[in-house]
């Protein structure tokens, strides 16, 4: 049976992490968040973590080869997974191309991109709220939040066209109750 590999997409604050928690339960998938993996490296004070932290604290993307290497390791260490939710990855065209190639090595592919759409003022409000409890320095400063949104617009948003060309793009309104958005996502996935 082919695997269910989903790219959960959207700007910072769109609700990717929240919805991933629900989707991994419902569909039995493994959650791969490059942001979480990087924060794990920072917490363990690895060399990679220390280098990544400098960029993350400025709201800038870390180099492609760093996150591609992390994803490659995780795919290799979970050969029997029913599928994966990619959260916060890919974020550049080079990452999307690398992901396609890594999956193709196992005769596998991305099933769909689910793109959550949320307006910029709502994103800023949500991120500042999250900053009060997340302890994430990049959620606590409006200039850094603006920098992250600008990285998203310049480097990441073009990936919608990348997956649209493959007929895999599904856009989903990311404003509403958590539950209503979960339901819409589930419906889209069930139709795949």
Residues identified as active-site: 16, 91, 130, 136, 148
Among 5, 41, 84, 91, binds ligand AMP (CB under 6 A): 91
175 binds ligand AMP (CB under 6 A): no
Among 6, 56, 96, 118, binds ligand AMP (CB under 6 A): 56
Tokens encoding 144: 């850094």
Helix, strand, coil % over all residues of the chain, rounded to 5: 60, 15, 30
Among 10, 12, 131, 174, binds ligand AMP (CB under 6 A): 12
34 binds ligand AMP (CB under 6 A): yes
CB of 52 to ligand AMP, least distance (A): 7
Tokens encoding 67: 């996150």
Q: How many CB atoms are closer than 10 A to CB 86?
A: 26
User: For 91-112, b where at least 16 C-beta lie within 10 A, e where not — what string?
Assistant: bbeebbebbbeebeeeebebbb
CB of 57 to ligand AMP, least distance (A): 8
Among 35, 83, 131, 174, binds ligand AMP (CB under 6 A): 35
38 binds ligand AMP (CB under 6 A): yes
Name the phi and psi angles at 81, rounded to 5.
-60, 145
Burial class for 161, CB neighbours closer than 10 Å (0-12, 13-18, 19+): exposed
CB of 172 to ligand AMP, least distance (A): 18
When the beta carbons of 4 and 70 are compared against ligand AMP, the nearer one is 70
Strands 112-117 and 83-87: unpaired
Picking from 37, 52, 168, the residue whose alpha carbon sits closest to that of residue 114 is: 168
Stretch that binds ligand AMP, among 33-41, 42-50, 112-120, 173-181 (CB under 6 A): 33-41
> Which residues of this protein are in contact with ligand AMP, per CB under 6 A?
12, 34-35, 38, 55-56, 59-62, 67, 88-89, 91, 95, 138, 148
């Amino acid at each position: 049976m082919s695997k269910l590999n989903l790219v959960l997409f959207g700007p910072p604050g769109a609700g990717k992490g929240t919805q991933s928690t629900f989707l991994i339960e419902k569909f039995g998938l493994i959650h791969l968040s490059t942001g979480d993996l990087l924060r794990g490296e920072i917490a363990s004070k690895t060399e990679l973590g220390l280098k990544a932290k400098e960029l993350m604290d400025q709201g800038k993307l870390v180099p492609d080869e760093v996150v591609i290497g992390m994803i490659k390791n995780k795919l290799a260490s979970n050969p029997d997974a029913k599928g994966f939710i990619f959260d916060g990855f890919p974020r550049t065209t080079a990452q999307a191309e690398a992901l396609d190639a890594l999956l193709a090595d196992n005769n596998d592919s991305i099933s769909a991109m689910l793109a959550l759409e949320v307006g910029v003022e709502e994103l800023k409000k949500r991120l500042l709220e999250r900053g009060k409890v997340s302890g994430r320095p990049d959620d606590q400063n409006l200039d850094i939040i603006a920098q992250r949104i600008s990285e998203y617009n310049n480097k990441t948003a073009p990936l919608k066209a990348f997956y649209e060309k493959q007929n895999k793009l599904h856009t989903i309104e990311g404003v509403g109750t958590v539950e209503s958005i979960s339901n819409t996502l589930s419906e889209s996935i069930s139709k795949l």
